[in-house]
Structure formats: structure tokens, C-alpha cells
Amino acid sequence: MKYVAPLTEVEIQTLQEMHRYHPSRRARMRAHSLLLSHQGIAMPQIARIYQVDYRSVSSWINQWQTRGLVGLYDQPGAGRRPILSLDEQQKVHQSLQDSPKDLKKVVHQLEQETGKRVSPKTIKRLMKKNRYVWKRSRKAPAKAPDPHKYARSKVFMNQLQQRAAGGECALWYFDGTGFCLTPCIPYAGQPIGHTIELPASSHNQRVNVLALQRHFSALTTFPHGASRHSGCKRQRAMVLYAPVTLGDRSACSARVAVGLKAPASRRGRVWPAVRLVPQCCE
């Protein structure tokens, strides 16, 4: 029975590191096969472990003994030739940028330009090779906050937090979100680390939730079925009436938020208008 020639300590260490850390699965498999042969395991057993023909194992041993470590790598030109040339792959990349959500459209456009018909799975393999992933897109605000106002608001929030820590006021945190009742956001091919953002529409049916919370306190939510606008000017004008005890009126330095009709009083409680200024609007 054929075995690999006895290995030195340096060769064993090199093959072990190659088996553990090399990015190529084929190179790791061949390095491990040589180590198994060095331990006295026969070629048919190694072939069964990796589900290959024993003649492949014999070829790996021959390549190692004649060419050394270089013989364990795939040589240029080995394997099936790629269906698409480099220029055609570049066209696929451009088509994915134009139509990331519709792979069938990419396939059709490639066939129109090159005359080659490939499957969507081929496009997905090419995407993976170019470090693309197939994941959901994300809704994003139509307009980003003004950087100058945002920085000024951060300073103002720090001042409020310091006053609340000193007992001068009660600081409440306010935010809103919505649950869209229209179909879900589609998947699209996107580079790793990058997410396609779709402009959010204010005309879709949705359930909106406003929430108030103090530091280390329970979250209070206010579901509402009306349209919610994320623009700073609209948020500044919103007014929410929240029940607060008479003893807490001095702590309500801000006047708040929704367009709900509030009663003048109810069992010793008042509904003062507390104004909460969003961080991006101050």
C-alpha cells in the first residue's frame, strides 16, 4: 500500500497550519490527507473520509513528493471554465446596481447584451464571489437632520440631563414609530456592510405608536391610527396630553404632544400640555 514519505517536524507543523487556517477547502483537505497518510491510514480510508476516489489521494501524495507544498494548490486552468468573461461579469455588476431587487431582470438584460442565458443561481454565486449578500432593504427618512441643529440639540440634551440629575426637573424621553400595513420590504442584492435604503412614504396605512419614558421608569405608549410625519417642523407642532398629578405640575417644564382632546380635569388629575422638543428640532 502506498503512503507518503516520512515527514519532518517542520513539514508536519506546516501541513497542520495549512489544514487549520488556509482559506481554500481543497488545500485544507489535501494537507489533512497527507497527515493521515503519515499516521499510517491507507489511501482507501482517506478517500472514504473525503468522499473522493483513492486515485485522487494517490495523486496528492505524488504532487507533494515531487513539487512540495505548491503541489497541493489548484493549478491555473483547473476546473470548469467560467460561463461569463470578466467584461460580462462587470456588466452583471452594473445591472445589479441598477436592479438589485430583480435578478430575473438582470438575467434578461445579460441575455440581450451578450446572447448568453444563465440562471438566477449563477447570478447569486457571482454576487457571493463579489461579496454581495441577499437581504432586506431598509426604510430611511426622506430627509436627514441638519448637522448644526443636531449638534446644538446634543448640547441642550446634556444640559437637561444634568438638571434632571440635580433634581431641578423631571426629564421625559419621547419618540415615535410606526408599523406599516402594506406588504413587507423586498429583498435585494447588496454589498456586505451596505444596506439599500428606500424612501419612507407618509401615505401608507400604518399603526403609529408614541412613547414616553423617564430614566429608570416604565415605558408609556400611545397607539394611534393617524398618519405620522417625521419632519422636524411637524414634530415641533405636535401636542400630547398626558395625565399628571397635581403635585407633579412643577416638574413639567416641557409641554407635550398628540392631537387628542383633553378634559379639563378628572378626579384630581389634570392633563397639562407638556412640550417635548425632538432632539433634531431644538
266/165 same-domain check:
yes
Q: Does 195 reside within a domain?
A: yes
Does residue 187 sit in the same domain as residue 255? yes
Q: Are residues 170 and 252 in the same domain?
A: yes
Whether 21 and 119 map to the same domain: the answer is: no
Whether residue 66 is contained in a domain is answered as yes
Looking at the structure, do residues 54 and 100 belong to the same domain, yes or no?
no
Same domain for 216 and 121 = no
**Residue 42 maps to a domain:** yes
Same domain, 157 and 242: yes
| Best CA proximity match to 109, nearest among 101, 212, 117, 208 | 117
State the distance between the two ends of the chain, measured CA to CA, in whole angstroms: 82
Number of domains in the chain: 3
What pLDDT is attached to residue 256? 36
224 shares its domain with 158: yes
What pLDDT is recorded for position 269?
A: 37
Domain that holds residue 59: 9-72
Residues 112 and 155 in one domain: no
Domain membership of residue 279 (yes or no) is: no
Does 120 lie in the same domain as 151? Answer: no
The reply to whether 138 falls in a domain is: no
Are 189 and 125 contained in the same domain?
no
CB contact at 8 A, 187 and 137? yes
Q: Within this chain, do residues 119 and 231 fall inside the same structural domain, yes or no?
A: no
Contact 200, 140 (CB under 8 A): yes
For every one of its 282 residues, what pLDDT tens digit does the chain have, with 9 covering 90 and above?
789 999 999 999 999 999 999 988 999 999 999 999 999 999 999 999 999 999 999 999 999 999 999 989 887 766 678 888 889 998 888 888 888 888 889 999 999 988 888 998 898 888 888 888 888 787 777 777 788 988 898 898 888 888 888 888 888 888 877 776 666 667 777 788 777 777 666 565 677 788 888 776 777 777 765 444 443 333 333 333 333 333 333 333 333 333 333 334 333 333 333 343 333 333
Q: Is residue 280 part of a domain?
A: no
Residue 230: predicted pLDDT: 41
